[in-house]
RNA sequence: GGAGAGGUGACCGAGCGGCUAAGGAGCGCGCCUGGAAAGCGCGUAGGGUGUAACAGCCUCGCGGGUUCAAUUCCCGUCCUCUCCUCCA
């Protein structure tokens, strides 16, 4: 969300930035009009209110002196009516203004590649070599069913499409991933582990930008007006919502494993096979709250944290910088990390690391006291570090043997009771 | 789920229709001191509006209502605590 003052002062800059996404002005022109109108009414209301306050304070004095206040009361009644009328108008304008503002995406950072969609993203680097198989490699969905690791049919029966049961040693492997990822990020003290709720309220969902625009992709508990979180980004970023953090508490590095729930509205028919795109998946999420000056460096640092994990698992991957047309709603700059999937014969997204600048912080009223003692908005970042489901699929595919066994990556063996294959 | 109590300033805490949020803690500056503690004085929230500066407006959990006027009265709602009930 944008600062109301910036809408006025840097309007053209914001408009130009947002237009880089290639989807028009997102209602900004209308928003500017509403902002003007708001100020017009506000000035009037403030003047009238001042008059009202000043005059109504005379009443106790009148009473004391035994003067008849009825004339003054009459005047104040009229004043009160005018104020409440104007106030109502003001509130309508403000509501409409705010509602529209919530739908305006962040401005893509000036240095990111211009483009319309995925095809214009820029590959930054690759690590590792895709394995050359001396046998016909199976996709994880075939392998998973053959080995009795994945049960798609019962997932559909018990819940519906895009829900899957994971069984036996494979379930243990996923659990190993969860523990390994959390240990990786926390044991050196860099990130603090948080056990997080799996649902969040409307305010939190709005704070990180899932609402109002993407409501159709969220699972909603109507009775409580709670939402199943689509990522721990929601609960972790909102953790310090409406707080003013002292400088010495920064930077905040937190991480959490949660289940994530997405209705995947609009992606019907995509990735229907396997566990790449599920309605529920486990993920370790990384969140940073940092001072504005350092946020782009912090983004690079976060990417390298995720890369280190993939390297330790010996999974070939590449880093891609998203172009202006593909970068997410709340993000100013995003790197996707894509891991090699033999079944797709390509790299597929496994992590996404973004710098949101103060976009989420404004929505969350997430602030800190800077060196000058002034209150300012923080910058927020998050990245997947990393999802267990997709990672499991990647390991099944990349580490399979001709006999259909799965080689356990060395770093995971301590979490698997020493097993080197399953 | 039932009954009760409460949510006030970066913290504690009074106010319970108008005198425009008492008092304290902490922090900052100054005085005092050889130095410090104590003591004394002053200052210490956020937001938006207009400005050269001052100023004025909003915020006493949140949302409505009554009133010329609401922190104060009424209704709703959320959260916290205590007791009961239920329960992994």
Cβ of residue A45 near strand B, that is under 7 Å?
yes
Cβ of residue A8 near strand B, that is under 7 Å?
yes
What's the predicted TM-score (pTM) here? 0.93
CB-based contacts of A18, cutoff 8 Å, min separation 6: A25, A26, A28, A104, A105, A107
Looking at residue A400, the DSSP 8-state letter turns out to be: B
Cβ of residue A48 near strand B, that is under 7 Å?
no
CB-based contacts of A71, cutoff 8 Å, min separation 6: none
CA angle A176, A177, A179 (to 5 degrees): 65
Cβ of residue A77 near strand B, that is under 7 Å?
yes
Q: How far is CA A327 from CA A2, A105, A122, A141, A365, in A?
A: 17, 10, 12, 30, 23
Cβ of residue A145 near strand B, that is under 7 Å?
no
Distance A331 CA to B13 C1' (A): 44
Closest nucleotide relative to residue A46's CA, C1' based: B57
Distance A280 CA to B21 C1' (A): 51
Both structure tokens of A197:
């709720």
Complex confidence, ipTM: 0.85
Cα-flanking dihedrals φ and ψ of residue A280, to 5°?
-135, 130
Both structure tokens of A264:
């995947």
Cβ of residue A60 near strand B, that is under 7 Å?
yes
Asked if A7 contacts A17 with a C-beta cutoff of 8 angstroms, the reply is: no
Give me the active site residues of A, please. Answer: 262, 277, 349, 352, 390
CB-based contacts of A157, cutoff 8 Å, min separation 6: none
For strands A346-355 and A165-166, give the pairing: unpaired
Closest nucleotide relative to residue A49's CA, C1' based: B57
CB-based contacts of A402, cutoff 8 Å, min separation 6: A134, A135
Both structure tokens of A91:
């509130």
* Residue-level pLDDT, tens digit, chain A, 422 residues: 888 888 888 899 999 999 999 999 999 999 999 999 999 999 999 999 999 988 888 888 887 777 777 888 888 998 999 998 898 899 899 989 988 999 999 999 999 999 999 999 999 999 999 999 999 999 999 999 999 999 999 999 999 999 999 999 999 999 999 999 999 999 999 999 999 999 999 999 999 999 989 999 999 988 888 999 999 999 999 998 888 888 888 899 999 999 999 999 888 888 989 999 999 999 999 999 999 999 999 999 999 999 999 999 999 999 999 999 999 999 999 999 999 999 999 999 999 999 999 999 999 888 888 887 788 899 999 999 999 999 999 999 999 999 999 999 999 999 999 999 99
Which nucleotides of chain B are near protein (any atom < 7 Å from a CB)?
A: 10, 18-19, 45-50, 56-58, 64, 68-69
Asked if A265 contacts A321 with a C-beta cutoff of 8 angstroms, the reply is: no
Q: Give A259's strand partners.
A: A282
* Cα radius of gyration rounded to whole Å, chain A: 27
Cα-flanking dihedrals φ and ψ of residue A15, to 5°?
-60, -50
Residue A261 is predicted with a pLDDT of: 96
CB-based contacts of A196, cutoff 8 Å, min separation 6: A229, A232, A235, A236, A256, A258
Both structure tokens of A384:
């997947």
Distance A404 CA to B34 C1' (A): 85
Cβ of residue A52 near strand B, that is under 7 Å?
yes
Q: How many whole angstroms separate alpha carbon A391 and alpha carbon A320?
A: 18
Asked if A88 contacts A338 with a C-beta cutoff of 8 angstroms, the reply is: no
Q: How many whole angstroms separate alpha carbon A138 and alpha carbon A147?
A: 12
């Amino acid at each position: 969300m944008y600062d109301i003052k910036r809408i006025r002062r840097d309007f053209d800059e914001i408009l130009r930035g947002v237009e880089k996404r290639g989807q028009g002005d997102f209602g900004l022109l209308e928003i500017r009009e509403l902002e003007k109108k708001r100020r017009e009414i506000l000035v009037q209301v403030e003047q009238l209110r001042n008059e009202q306050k000043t005059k109504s304070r005379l009443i106790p004095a009148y009473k004391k002196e035994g003067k008849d206040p009825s004339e003054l009361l009459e005047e104040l009644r009229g004043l009160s009516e005018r104020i409440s009328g104007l106030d109502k108008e003001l509130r309508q304008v403000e509501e409409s203004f705010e509602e529209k503002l919530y739908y305006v995406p962040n401005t893509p950072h000036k240095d990111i590649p211009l483009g319309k969609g995925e095809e214009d993203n820029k590959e930054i680097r690759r690590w590792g070599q895709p394995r050359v198989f001396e046998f016909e490699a199976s996709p994880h969905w075939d392998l998973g069913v053959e080995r009795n690791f994945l049960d798609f049919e019962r997932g559909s029966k018990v819940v519906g499409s895009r829900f899957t049961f994971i069984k036996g040693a494979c379930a243990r492997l996923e659990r190993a991933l969860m523990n390994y990822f959390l240990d990786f990020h926390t044991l050196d003290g860099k990130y603090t582990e948080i056990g997080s709720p799996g649902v969040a309220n409307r305010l939190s969902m709005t704070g990180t930008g899932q609402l109002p625009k993407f409501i159709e992709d969220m699972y909603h508990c109507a009775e409580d007006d709670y939402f199943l979180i689509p990522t721990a980004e929601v609960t972790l970023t909102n953790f310090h919502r409406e707080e003013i953090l002292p400088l010495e508490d920064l930077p905040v590095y937190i991480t959490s494993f949660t289940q994530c729930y997405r209705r995947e509205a609009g992606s019907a028919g995509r990735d229907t096979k396997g566990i790449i795109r599920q309605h529920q998946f486990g993920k370790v999420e990384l969140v940073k709250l940092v001072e504005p000056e350092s946020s782009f460096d912090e983004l690079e640092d976060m990417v390298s944290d995720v890369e280190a994990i993939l390297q330790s698992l010996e999974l070939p991957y590449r880093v891609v910088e998203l172009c202006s047309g593909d970068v997410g709603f709340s993000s100013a700059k995003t790197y996707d990390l894509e891991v090699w999937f033999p079944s797709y014969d390509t790299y597929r997204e496994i992590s996404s690391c973004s710098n949101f600048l103060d976009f989420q912080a404004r929505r969350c009223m997430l602030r800190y006291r800077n060196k000058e003692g002034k209150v300012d908005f923080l910058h927020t970042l998050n990245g997947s570090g990393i999802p267990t489901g997709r990672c499991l699929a990647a390991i099944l595919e990349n580490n399979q043997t001709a006999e259909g066994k799965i080689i356990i990556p060395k770093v995971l063996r301590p979490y698997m009771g020493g097993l080197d294959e399953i």
